Amino acid sequence: MQRIFIANWKMNMSVAEMETYFQEFSKNSDFDNAEVVVCPPMPLLSLAAQHCAELGIALGAQNVFWEEAGAFTGEVSPLLLKDLGVQYVLIGHSERRQYFGETDQYVGRKVKAAIKAGLRPVVCVGESLIELRTNRTEDVIEEQISAVMRGLDPIEARRVIIAYEPVWAIGSGMTPTGEQVKEVALQIRKLMGDLFSLKIARDIKILYGGSVSPDNVDEFTASYVLHGALVGNASLDANKFSSLIQNGGGIRTASNQQEDTTPLHEGDFA
Ligand code: 13P
């Protein structure tokens, strides 16, 4: 199965730090069965685009606006993102919902505009701690997914990737169990089946995000109902991100394996 690993750098990284990052990442960035996506801050997109093209990995953005052009100070057009070589865009991240008043309605409009521009939206959904404690996870997921999906036709819906990111797991070091994540992923598939078709329910790509590390990633990627991970903190270190991809099921291409420089001895062939 083709897996997807998305690095969400959030508001981190300078130009110089990014250069070092890609230099380091290039040593271990080729994976046979994984789509690797890096989402840098907006001003780094065009510089990052060159590195991503060289490494054969994909470029993502952390946000997008729903209009194509006009008097919207500070916003970024989906057409411009496309123009810069962006392929994926995070939409509705809980930090955007929490700090910038992003509602399900805004998320829906952004998703539609992103698809129209030829981008792949990665829609983030997930419950807060209080919602978890009051057993509202299922309701929250249903509300968030249906609000976005209702506005899409089946062809558009197939372009969407869903990232289940429980708000309480982001940056906290706490995670749900693999079993709990699997349950939510199955719920999302069922919702997609009710809204569209069994085929879309089966094919839709679902990622897990929230305190994913090289040590726990396999718990979330081992199951056939999940396709990979959306990674914050652990994606800021190139070597850590690379190990995370490998531990999450990414298979390094032969040409990219670190060369074994152990000297050969005659006895090795006995
Ligand atoms: P952390 O991996 O730092 O918990 O962040 C997750 C996240 O928000 C990715 O979008």
pLDDT of residue 253: 83
**DSSP for residue 259:** P
Q: How do residues 200-246 score in pLDDT, each as one tens digit?
A: 999 999 999 999 999 999 999 988 899 999 999 999 999 999 999 99
Q: Which residue, by CA, sits nearest to atom 2 of ligand 1?
A: 232
Query: In which band, very low, low, confident or very high, does the pLDDT at 191 lie, cut at 50, 70 and 90?
Result: very high
Mean pLDDT for 92-117 is 97
Long-range contacts from 13-21, C-beta under 8 angstroms, 24+ separation? 13/40, 13/41, 13/44, 13/236, 15/44, 15/47, 18/44, 18/47, 18/48, 18/51, 21/238
- Kindly give the distance from the C-alpha atom of residue 175 to the centroid of ligand 1, in angstroms, as a whole number: 11
Beta strand 3-8 pairing with 228-231? parallel
Looking at residue 268, its pLDDT comes to 44
**What are the CA-CA distances from residue 57 to residues 5, 8, 49, 104, 114 (Å)?**
10, 14, 9, 30, 20
Spatial distance between the Cα atoms of 216 and 253, rounded to a whole number of angstroms: 23
142-185 confidence digits (pLDDT tens): 999 999 999 999 999 999 999 999 999 999 999 999 999 999 99
Query: What's the chain's average pLDDT?
Result: 94
Whether residue 44 is predicted with pLDDT greater than 60 in this model: the reply is yes
Would you say residue 270 has pLDDT above 80? Answer: no
Q: Is 163 left (phi over 0), alpha (psi -120 to 50) or beta?
A: beta
Active site residues: 93, 165
The SS3 assignment for 175 reads coil
244 Cβ inside 6 Å of ligand 1: no
pLDDT greater at residue 223 or residue 109: 109
Taking domain 3-269, whether its CATH number is 3.20.20.70 is answered by: yes
pLDDT digits (tens, 9 = 90+) for 57-100: 999 999 999 999 999 999 999 999 999 999 999 999 999 999 99
Residue 161 belongs to what H/E stretch?
strand 161-164
DSSP state of 112: H
- pLDDT at residue 269 tops 60: no
What whole-number distance in Å separates Cα of residue 155 and Cα of residue 149? 11
Does the Cβ of 232 fall within 6 Å of ligand 1?
yes
Instruction: Provide the pLDDT for residue 258.
Output: 53
Residue 31 near residue 251, CB atoms below 8 Å? yes
Cα–Cα distance list, 256 to 9, 29, 129, 241 (Å): 24, 7, 41, 15
Q: Does ligand 1 lie within 6 Å of residue 210's CB atom?
A: yes
> Considering the entire predicted model, what is its pTM?
0.93
- ∠ CA(219), CA(171), CA(50), 5° rounding? 85
Please write the tens of the pLDDT for every residue from 236-245. 999 999 999 9
The mean pLDDT of 48-52, rounded to a whole number, is 97
Q: Do the Cβ atoms of 231 and 7 come closer than 8 Å? A: yes
Rg (CA), the chain: 19
pLDDT at 104 over 90: yes
